[in-house]
Amino acid sequence: MTLEEHTSGGMTLLKRERREAFALLGELVAENYAAGRRSYGASLKPELRRRTMEGFDERRLEFSSFRAFLEAGEEAGAVTLHEPPKGPDIEATPPGKPSLAATLAAGHSVSDTAPTPLLRKRIRRDLWKAFLDWDARWRRVYDKEEEAAVRFPAEPARLEHPESQELRRLVEEQPERFVEIEPISFDRQLEWLRDFAQTVGDPTARKALDAAVTDDRPMRAFSLALQANRPLRQQWNATKLAHVEEAIDQWAEGCNLQIEVYEPAFGSPRVEGADDRSSPKSMPERPDEHLSRLRAQLHEAIDRMPEAELLQLRLPVEYLVRR
């Protein structure tokens, strides 16, 4: 039975979930617009997945692509779509609102699509998500068998992915396989911001950071205050990286675990012995670990690519026709 055929209270399940997804899309775009943030297609999908505990999937809603989902959202009155003045990615605004990209383009000398340099050291994505997001709706555990941090909704969520249900079942049935992870609290991260602000010598920059810490949304305000000061932003990124590494190391030591905190820099060869801070010995990477890491890096890169570059990807036909 398809979603279209399944009925619930006089409305097909597909129509109900589409309506819910469009409403969520409209809420997200409206929030971004009110804050002066542009809502590009490449950034909207990851945020929709985050807000639905990774349950959102345009294919599950029977759309051929995320672009098709956005176009249907426009037809439903949730958003208005705008072709960008430069770059291939489409922008969404609240219904009837003008494009922020077109409005602000004249005042910016640097393209919003300019690539951001990657840090030479990067904490594993699974650990970063498990420890840095303090959203209490998530339950986080370390899978000793798979050697990875995983998370799933603590309580069943709307549009929840079947994999989350399966993971919840495994944790209940095999508790010895998993170790609970307590995320780094909001208060602790806020203290990092305060401590860093006290080290800034420039009075103007320090005043801006001090004000950001007292904002209703301090993390976002702090990030905005650093945007125009690249050296200070890089200094903060390095400081935050060290704090997160220390917190993960302390947790691992307390749980008697030896884990690799960092992953090799994307596109750079791994230097033997570098970044091996979570374990006294550097263990060679198994072929399956290398493949899993490579897949994750490619998925992450694809999620950031605009449509024009996605259309230039070369794939063997068999991957498109085989299911």
DSSP per position, 61-127: TT-SSHHHHHHHHHHTTS-EEE--SSSS--EEESTTPPPHHHHHGGG-SS-TTPPPPPPSSEE-HHH
Better-predicted residue by pLDDT, 277 or 188: 188
Give the integer Cα–Cα distance in Å for 9 and 188. Answer: 46
The C-alpha angle with vertex 274 and arms to 125 and 276, in degrees rounded to 5, equals 65
Give pLDDT tens digits for 9-21.
Answer: 546 889 999 999 9
Surface-to-core class of residue 89, CB atoms within 10 Å of its CB (0-12 exposed, 13-18 middle, 19+ buried): buried
Better-predicted residue by pLDDT, 180 or 307: 180
pTM > 0.75: no
Q: Tell me, what's the pLDDT at 118?
A: 36
Q: Which of 197, 198, 188, 186 is nearest to 222 (CA)?
A: 197
Residue 286, pLDDT > 50, answer no
* Residue 34: band (very low, low, confident or very high) from pLDDT cuts 50, 70, 90: confident
Q: For the chain, what percent of residues have pLDDT higher than 70?
A: 71
Region 50-74 average pLDDT: 92
Give the integer Cα–Cα distance in Å for 314 and 299. Answer: 15
Q: Which of 200, 271, 204, 206 is nearest to 239 (CA)?
A: 200
Instruction: Lowest mean pLDDT of 81-90, 137-146, 164-173, 232-241, name the range.
Output: 81-90
Give pLDDT tens digits for 78-136.
Answer: 999 998 765 557 899 999 999 886 765 544 432 333 333 333 568 999 999 999 988 88
Average pLDDT over the chain, rounded to an integer: 79
Q: Which domains does the chain have, with CATH numbers?
A: 7-104 (3.30.420), 183-305 (no CATH)
Instruction: Lowest mean pLDDT of 20-34, 177-191, 257-271, name the range.
Output: 257-271
Give pLDDT tens digits for 157-214.
Answer: 778 888 999 999 999 999 999 999 999 999 999 999 999 898 888 889 999 999 999 9
